[in-house]
Structure 1
Amino acid sequence: MTDKKTLLLAQIFITFMMALSMSGIMSLLQLGATAQWLTIWPRQFIIAWPVAFVLTMVISRLGFALAHRITASRNA
């Protein structure tokens, strides 16, 4: 199992990259590649990153539990 510091740092990196890419993609789809999109995207990211981080702190436990359960049943 990975140590807690590494897991926390990975959560920070993963949520940063996912919030950046998803907020960019979703706002790009909504607004198109315009100056307005470039103005709105950073604000959307600033909102999305902390939300993503908090949610993954809860949801990742469920995801790991499910993954362990599925792989353990297949290996048995």
Structure 2
Amino acid sequence: MQSRKVILLAQVFISGLMAFSMSGIMGFLHTGNAPDFIKIWLSAFITAWPIAFVLSLGVSPLAFWMAGRLAKPRHRAQG
């Protein structure tokens, strides 16, 4: 099992990378290659990252629980 410090740090990186990529993709889809696209993207990223981090703290335990349930070997009924 990973230490709390490693899990928290991983969530900082995961939420940052997801906020960066998603704000860029969605910003580009919304504005196209506008002259101020980079400014818009960075502004959206700065807003999205803390939100993504807080949400990841709540969603992560649920996601790990769901993954554990799905990955658990199933016992076949003998018939």
Larger-gyration structure (1/2): 2
Instruction: Work out whether the TM-score is over 0.5.
Output: yes
Q: When the two structures are superposed, what TM-score results if normalisation uses the length of structure 1?
A: 0.91
- Identity level (%): 45
How far is 1:75 from its partner? 5.2
How far is 1:33 from its partner? 1.3
- For residue 51 of structure 1, what is the aligned residue in structure 2? 51
* Unpaired stretches in structure 2, ≥5 consecutive residues: none
Cα deviations by residue, 1:14-34 (Å, 9 ceiling, x for unpaired): 111110010011000110112
Tell me how many residue pairs correspond in the alignment.
Answer: 75
Cα distance in 1, alignment partners of residues 8 and 39 from structure 2: 30
Runs of 4 or more off by more than 4 Å in structure 1? none
- For residue 26 of structure 1, what is the aligned residue in structure 2? 26
* Unpaired stretches in structure 1, ≥5 consecutive residues: none
Q: When the two structures are superposed, what TM-score results if normalisation uses the length of structure 2?
A: 0.88
Cα distance in 1, alignment partners of residues 70 and 25 from structure 2: 32
Superposition CA RMSD, Å? 1.1
